Amino acid sequence: MRNAALTLGIIAGLIGMIVGLVSFGWTEVLANRPEAAQFFSVDNPQFIRAVAILGPILAIAGGAMAKVRALWGGIALIVSAALMYSAFGFNVATMFPIAMAGLGGVLALAAGKPDEPKAHF
What is the tens place of the pLDDT at every residue in 28-83?
Answer: 999 898 888 788 878 899 999 999 999 999 999 999 999 888 999 999 999 999 99
pLDDT at 115: 55
The closest of 8, 86, 17 to 54, measured between CA atoms, is 17
Q: Which residues contact 112 (CB under 8 A, 6 or more apart)?
A: 70, 119, 120, 121
Instruction: Output the CA torsion 4→59→15→48 (10° steps).
Output: 160
Instruction: Please state the pTM of the whole predicted model.
Output: 0.88
Query: Does 121 or 108 have the greater pLDDT score?
Result: 108
Chain segment 98-115, per-residue pLDDT in tens: 999 999 999 999 986 655
Q: Are 21 and 121 in contact (CB under 8 A)?
A: no
